[in-house]
Amino acid sequence: MTIQLPNKLGVHALVWVGGWSHAECREAIQNTVDAGYDLIEIPALDPSLIDTEHTLATLKEFGIKAACSLGLSFDADINNEDSAIVAKGEAKLMAALDVVAAIEGDYLGGVLFSALGKYSHPATEKSRANSVASLKRLAIAAQAKGITIGLEPVNRYESNLINTIDQAVAMIKDIGEPNVKVHIDIYHMNIEEQDLASPIINNAEHIGYVHIGASHRGGLGSGNVDFDELFGALAKINYKGVITFESFSSAIVHPDLSLALAIWRNLWTENKPMALSARKYMVEHIVRSNNLA
């Protein structure tokens, strides 16, 4: 008997490839399908490097959809008091939005609200206000394209602005647009939240996308994350959205993202069995948490 899961399962492209050349695009998409996933998440740190026509054709060939994610850089950061730096950051977000639309996706998420990296100072009222204003314009532009915007709370070493789900919800309320959601990531929750269940349950209506990964960003099921608590909370709020597996190793290097995420060592070398195992692990937990067996 085939069990109908309530969630589409995704995998981050960096599990497969370090860039997005035509060959890497095809490899990543084919591997995603071969491993049984429903969606691939493509990093768009530099939207200009993504050949959208080729990507869309390859996605259609293999019958799969894509989402995009990114984090801003310090020289193009909407969480800044300098209007020129803010403008560069907003332009990058708008370019990434165009990529999502061109590949017929419906989701753009990640650290859209700030640079992805360790700040030397707290966010200011002005820098936060600039971020809110830019994200409001992004959300309005995204609505016209049928795209949801996801704000991903990350740990204190990767942003000074949004580290918890509550902070993301507060910003979403200030943005005031219906297509902005919280993009939760269990890796960061495991660092910053008091527990893994209550922030999800208390903010159920705002949860729009889920990143799942081990506490050390290696193979799923290793590390110290309480995945029963996580999947139990998602089942309790009747979450029907995408759950995307992330895992990073120095075996596969993206020149910008690997540095930003401090991927210094090999947490795995064989990506295909690791991705297959991760999907099986997710399915088992979803089935058990939702009493689908």
Contacts of 271 (CB under 8 A, 6+ apart): 15, 16, 31, 249, 251, 252
Residue 227: both structure tokens together: 């995945």
Would you state the torsion angle of the CA atoms of residues 202, 206, 212, 215, taken in this order, to the nearest 10 degrees?
Answer: -50
Residue 186: both structure tokens together: 């269990």
Residue 217: which region, alpha, beta or left (left: phi > 0; alpha: psi -120 to 50)?
A: left
DSSP annotation of 69 reads E
CA proximity to 48, closest of 12, 84, 92, 18: 92
- Cβ–Cβ < 8 Å for 143, 108: no
Burial profile 198-219: b = 16 or more Cβ within 10 angstroms, e = fewer:
ebbeebeebbbbbbbbbeebbb
Instruction: State the Rg of the chain over Cα.
Output: 18
SS3 201: helix
Active site residues: 152, 246
Residue 269: both structure tokens together: 């070398």
Nearest-angstrom CA–CA distance, 287 and 278: 14
